[in-house]
Amino acid sequence: MPAEPLKTGNAAAPEMLRQYVERIEHLEEEKAQLMADIRDVYAEAKGHGLDPKVMRQVIKMRGMDRQSLMEQDAMIELYRSHLGLD
């Protein structure tokens, strides 16, 4: 099924599309640079003896609300217990 034509109803549609594409491309470039910066910070932390894998988990946990974090902790504890990892 072919894509629908631009629904702007005027001749400026190709220019509008180009602007959106360029904005997205610019943001993708910024995202790539940010990801490289984040990798550098993890490498620096690792150089100081910290564990990047654990840091990623802690960062994820910091973004969770308290209730979700408590539920996750309880499930992890249950799974560890069932697998004899306590």
pLDDT tens, the chain, 86 aa long: 556 666 656 778 999 999 999 999 999 999 999 999 999 999 999 999 999 999 999 999 999 999 999 999 999 999 999 999 98
Q: Are residues 16 and 45 in the same domain?
A: yes
Residues 38 and 58 in one domain: no
Distance CA 37, CA 43 (A): 10
Distances (CA, A) of 21 to 15, 55, 74: 10, 35, 45
**Is residue 66 domain-shared with residue 84, that is, in the same domain?**
yes
Q: Is 64 a member of any domain?
A: yes
Do 42 and 52 touch, CB atoms closer than 8 A?
yes
The pLDDT assigned to 86 comes to 83
Q: Does residue 58 share a domain with residue 28? A: no
- In single-letter form, the type of residue at position 48 comes to H
Residue ranges with strand state E in the chain: none
> Quick one: 40 and 56 in the same domain?
no
* Whole-number pLDDT of residue 10: 73
**Residue 25 sits in which domain range?**
10-50
56 and 77 in a single domain? The answer is yes
